Amino acid sequence: MAKGIEIREAHFPGRPPIDAYGAGGFRFADMSHRGSILCLPSGVHGWDATDADDITAETLARVFVEADGIEVLLVGMGDEFRRVPPDLQAALREQGIVTDAMSTGSAVRTYNVLLAEDRAVAAALIAVDEP
């Protein structure tokens, strides 16, 4: 019996720096991903968030699962600056995670620096069209 196309969840099992962002996606590890991403200790995962309103405890469930390996969560809010909702920030703080919200470009640059310093950093990055 023939099988149809199998759609798999986007996941790269490593902690690469982000080489580029823009055009609705990201480049890392000689690969590209269209859409938003979560950079976690378990790797880079595709993320359905398209704007700051999509950032909730539910959409960040993987962050809570991997909280033991994360001290800082950088949140790339896209093109505009918005704060992480206070209740979500408090829930992450209860897990020992400090959040820092900024534009996606700033979050990518900060993530790469902290990753190079071997810090326990994670990032939730909303894709943007222009770098």
At 8-49, the pLDDT tens digits run 466 667 899 999 999 999 999 999 999 999 999 999 999 999
- Number of domains the chain contains: 1
Tell whether 6 is covered by a domain: no
Tell whether 130 is covered by a domain: no
Q: Tell me, letter by letter, the H, E, C secondary structure of 8-43.
A: CCCEECCCCCEEEEECCEEEECCEEEECEEEEECCE
Tell whether 41 is covered by a domain: yes
CATH number, domain with residue 119: 3.40.1230.10
Query: pLDDT digits over 61-77, tens only?
Result: 999 999 999 999 999 99
What pTM was estimated for this model as a whole? 0.90
State how beta strands 31-34 and 36-40 pair: unpaired
What is the CA 33 to chain-centroid distance, rounded? 12
Token pair in block for residue 93: 């703080």
Neighbours of 42 (CB within 10 A): 17
Tell whether 100 is covered by a domain: yes
Give the domain extent around 55. 11-125
